[in-house]
Structure 1
């Protein structure tokens, strides 16, 4: 049975189990699809009036999520392996990359990769939408409070509980504190990159997603360093405040400034249609490539340790894994209680639960060195984040009916064109 046949068989089971299409009609559509393989089964069902547009969109959405669940973790795993192999075969190259620093502070390879991860995201953000935070005060305050106050506190507590209490005898006290430092650094700021993808898959509102992303980029510049300095101190890791602040500016501030200027200039010269239709699709690829290259750079140095220390990696991953689901569940439930619409609640909850692991890794490399224990803790996040976030997206899609007073029916929430509308019921 090939991939297409497996997909049709799976779709048949789902549609019959949910009583969406009668088995007789479904079998007839399958026969037609076999005769004309250029047309998908759901297109035939839609054409015959056996499913409506909402059900068609749902099938396409779940198919895309299933494809990403199979491919994204595999792609990340492949590039992690490539990084390990590079580190093993070319140790001198790795040492050369480690030595490429500005004033012994900023890692040039990491800085370049992070710039090209952040820059395409900044290009998509309309910072003029920040003025809407007062119009959407309920949503913005809830998401920001959970993302910037609750999440760092929860991540700190979970890291302390597992590393200092549950597994206290497994590590020396100093090593536990260093692993805590890495976990803290990735748990402070919400993600500003892949949340656009997760929001799209969850049928979230693009306008709200970009509004929250714009706000979080600005908040990273303002409060990431103070929060990091405070929590690291509580973990018995004392780092000068200015060291963290310089790192944040180098890795985020430069991307923000250049992205904002580029967006403004190109929109004025080329127009919105060219900018969104031609320029942005090309730039999005840079972000993906930069992420994969970052994985190679990081795991060329840390990959061998991860292979040699599976128990340590599992212990580090435990608080991070729990934090994802605790924060998402809290944000999602609070959004429901506040009667915020699903298409706004889903991306806001996903953003609140996400981690800016790129910034966490970069900051850890800057403060402790690429071969340090804090960096080892930070690189655990990209290993587990993709399958976790895809799982959270599935939870959103399966529970979205609860935002219609608990009535289980199809919700017409498609990704929007980025225009903001009112929030509430």
Structure 2
């Protein structure tokens, strides 16, 4: 009965979650419009930063991540350490495959196929470089930055195992601290590439560390003083809309800050989006197929594939701005990553949910229970066979 009450309390998607794609496009348009109408306000907000990490966006991302973190049963995270296949899969994809496929795809499309449409040069650190080369640099910065923030939202919406997702995020955060600079230096073929370590470390702390600490401590306090039932029946009822709302506000701010770049370069935006779109889908499909081959349960396979496919665009944008300048082609390419990331990842989340039957299921691991599994669980319970699924 207790398990049934818990699934009933948190089993369905909210109004915001059901129509998230619609809200995303509305907020993108709103952000670009606000940036055009009130450029001074957008510039002032964007200037509020520490080591190039935007504090308004960081605050929004905290409120996006905290509701997800507090829902995680951290005993699942401990169990995830004992089943390392999903973590190893994301490490291989993020550091041994994804950076190099990004270079190949970007060079093919931006460096060759679309090169006639990307004429012009720009000055970067006193050196004249082609716009196409600058765009390629931006895509590389995206390709070597595995997502450590918003992917928790995608794993949650796909009915994934947030314990495993959390472990994958933590491991990727640590590896990024050590691999981002040398891999970027090598792939960009620039011996003097200076990656802002403070930006990466502070980003990891803000986007993962703070909401994780707040989630663990508040969950423990509530369970101790108010009990599990109050947490699930009362606390989560008011907390659920916060994560989605914070995501939408984040999008408004991002596109208010960078909307000028997008509006002034519509054709280039489209051309940059092509290799980024193909890269994301390729890595997702490779990861998803590998998870199927490894016989991972769906609750582990979906977030593993989504972690591999998504990018840490906050770090990529900050790094591009520091290295090449706010109005550089590299910065524009990273902004295009933001433009397509959310709608594309939502599409992949939906693909995961529609193909969940390809995998064996362990629905008890999901922080957001799958309504289809809940219905099956209830049917099995009524038949007297509700011990497992």
Q: The TM-score by the shorter chain falls in which range?
A: 0.7 to 0.9
Q: Which has the higher contact order (CA 8 A, sep 6+)?
A: 2
Q: 1:253 to 1:107 in 2, by over 3 A?
A: same
Distance between the aligned counterparts of 2:231 and 2:14, measured in 1? 28
Partner residue of 1:90?
38
Distance between the aligned counterparts of 2:353 and 2:25, measured in 1? 26
Q: Is the CA contact 1:301–1:370 (under 8 Å) kept in the aligned structure 2?
A: no
Deviation at 1:326, TM superposition (A): 1.0
Partner residue of 1:234?
187
Partner residue of 2:20?
72
Distance between the aligned counterparts of 1:276 and 1:247, measured in 2? 36
2:335 is the counterpart of 1:382: no
Return the TM-score normalized by structure 1.
0.68
Distance between the aligned counterparts of 2:207 and 2:57, measured in 1? 13
Over residues 78-137 of structure 1, what are the superposed CA-to-partner deviations in whole Å (9 max), with x where a residue is unaligned? 2222222222222222332243334x6443333333443444444445566554345212
2:157 is the counterpart of 1:210: no
Q: 1:232 to 1:115 in 2, by over 3 A?
A: farther
Deviation at 1:418, TM superposition (A): 4.9
3-state DSSP of counterpart to 1:379: helix
Q: 1:65 to 1:334 in 2, by over 3 A?
A: farther
Over residues 323-382 of structure 1, what are the superposed CA-to-partner deviations in whole Å (9 max), with x where a residue is unaligned? 122112111222222222334323322222222334433444455454443332222233
Q: 1:110 to 1:201 in 2, by over 3 A?
A: closer
Q: Is the CA contact 2:58–2:207 (under 8 Å) kept in the aligned structure 1?
A: no
Deviation at 1:247, TM superposition (A): 0.7
Distance between the aligned counterparts of 2:171 and 2:233, measured in 1? 26
Q: 1:73 to 1:399 in 2, by over 3 A?
A: closer
Unaligned runs of 5+ in 2: 1-10, 122-128, 369-389
2:85 is the counterpart of 1:138: yes
Unaligned runs of 5+ in 1: 1-59, 405-411, 420-425
Over residues 37-57 of structure 1, what are the superposed CA-to-partner deviations in whole Å (9 max), with x where a residue is unaligned? xxxxxxxxxxxxxxxxxxxxx
Larger Rg: 1
Partner residue of 1:219?
172
Over residues 163-204 of structure 1, what are the superposed CA-to-partner deviations in whole Å (9 max), with x where a residue is unaligned? 2222234244443333223323333344345545544554x4
Partner residue of 2:6?
none
Partner residue of 1:261?
213
Q: Is the CA contact 2:154–2:346 (under 8 Å) kept in the aligned structure 1?
A: yes
Q: Is the CA contact 1:158–1:323 (under 8 Å) kept in the aligned structure 2?
A: yes
Return the TM-score normalized by structure 2.
0.74
3-state DSSP of counterpart to 2:115: coil
Aligned residues: 345
Q: Is the CA contact 2:185–2:193 (under 8 Å) kept in the aligned structure 1?
A: yes
